[in-house]
Amino acid sequence: MMGDPSAEALRVSNPARNTVVVPDGPLPALPPSIWESKDVRDAVAAESPGAVVAIARRAHGLRQDELGALAGFSQSAISRLESGSNIAYDMRVLRTLQRLLGIPAHLLGLTDRTVPVPSGDLVVGMEGKALMALCASAVFNANSDDDAVSQLLVLRRIINDAHNWRATGALMPAVRSMYDVIDALRRNARGEVRRRLLGTSAMYAEFHGWLYEEIGDLRNAGAWTSRALEQGQAADDRDVVAYCYVRMSQLAEVDGDDDRVIGLARAAQRETGVSPVVRAMAVRQEARGLARAGQNACMQRFDLAHSLVLTVERPMSDEYSIGYCFTDLHVQMQRAASLVALSDHRRAIDAYTELMPRWGTVCQWEQGVHTATLAYAHAASGDVDRAVELGFAALDLARVTGSQLIVNELARLGPWAATPAIAELTAQLR
């Protein structure tokens, strides 16, 4: 071992102790009982990733300085992490230690924190029945027609929030059934209630189209988005109409048709009476299209989208409204992604790095897409090791969410498949 330069590089001199000795190969897998122990459960419940790292380190029989030597950190950094300092919430640090120690990612808050259930079908069935029960309650237990519509919009928001942190497959059958119930009510209603139900069913139809896009079924995604557009037009709901144009623009990205991406985003902006937040979303999408077309004018549009979203007054309501969770962070993350589209990879990396402390506030599928984009930027800049690290982090999020959008973005790492780690990553994508 003394003659191995790679092993020698892992040695850390510490005047207070003997030379640190680290294992030659990967650490062995820990028994599942470790992750099921009370200490780990308590640490996860307390949202203390540093405590989970400490438990895993001790289970491997490592001192803090030995773990630091393996991970490339100082002993003091490991100590601060385990004691709960800010470094314990740094994604890059946690990802490194998670892979090194073999810690299930969700225990460190890197993926969905729900407890795994052996039967996925059971989870889907339970969630579907629960959502349908909520839908029936909203319709049949309401005091008035207006109250029923309001409760259906509250439920639409609940579903949206659930989707932000859960896999798509559990929601699709329930959302379709809920749309059918609302659409049937709409057909038998009259006057203003009929119009409101029409707008509400359009919101469910658009969401159903989004779920299809996320699993890679673009034909059904387009069909349901078109249905939502028609119903939004019939309801004279300008936010729904404008947002459907935005969604069609996003679908056009898959075809690589930059003219349609830009044109549909501009069509959304031509709608009158659109709320500032939906207008901001449309301007951001236009900027995205301009970046894909290689036009630096995209940055001016990002500036406009950013200024618009900062003026938005958030409604004090539990009802769903388009763009209720859209913030300046979504604009800034897409700006960073557009720098990648413009091949300005170093500026993109800097922009993403500055935004990273806030990533936890956006939904998991979106984190995954941007993590994959950042991986591509690092690979294009020559830092393949960092690209690999980020690529596997994005892959974890793809597995949690079932999002084909993340997989599609990771596929862009194909040109570096000659690198063994990238080859392993792309093989797992298949």
Please write down the long-range contacts of 23-26, taking CB distance under 8 Å and 24 or more positions apart: 23/70
Q: What is the mean pLDDT of residues 391-416?
A: 90
| CA neighbor of 156 nearest in space, from 202, 124, 190, 122 | 202
Percent of the chain with pLDDT over 90: 46
Q: Which DSSP string corresponds to 265-285?
A: HHHHHHSTT--HHHHHHHHHH
Instruction: Please report which confidence band the pLDDT of residue 139 belongs to, taking 50, 70 and 90 as the band edges.
Output: low
CB atoms within 10 A of CB 3: 6
Residue 392, Cβ density class (10 Å: 0-12 exposed, 13-18 middle, ≥19 buried): buried
Examine the pLDDT at 161 and tell me if it is beyond 70: yes
Q: Could you report the per-residue pLDDT of 20-34, keeping only the tens digit for each?
A: 555 555 678 888 788
Contact call for residues 264 and 245 (beta carbons, < 8 A): yes
Question: Using 50, 70 and 90 to split pLDDT, how confident is the model at 90?
Answer: low
Q: Which pLDDT value is given to residue 229?
A: 97
Is 49 in contact with 94 (CB distance < 8 Å)? yes
Q: Which residue has the tokens 């959304």?
A: 268
Condensed to tens digits (0 to 9), the pLDDT of residues 302-337 reads: 999 999 999 998 877 888 999 998 999 999 999 999
End-to-end alpha carbon distance in the chain: 38
91/132: higher pLDDT? 91
pLDDT at 118: 31
DSSP for 82-132 reads: HTT-GGGG-HHHHHHHHHHHT--GGGGTSS--SPP-S-HHHHHHHHHHHHH
Please name the residues in contact with 142: beta carbons below 8 A apart, sequence gap of 6 or more. Answer: 148, 150, 151
Q: pTM of the entire structure? A: 0.69
Could you give the C-alpha distances from 173 to 119, 130, 159, 177, 212, in angstroms and in order? 17, 12, 12, 6, 11
DSSP calls for 174-192 = HHHHHHHHHHHHHHT--HH
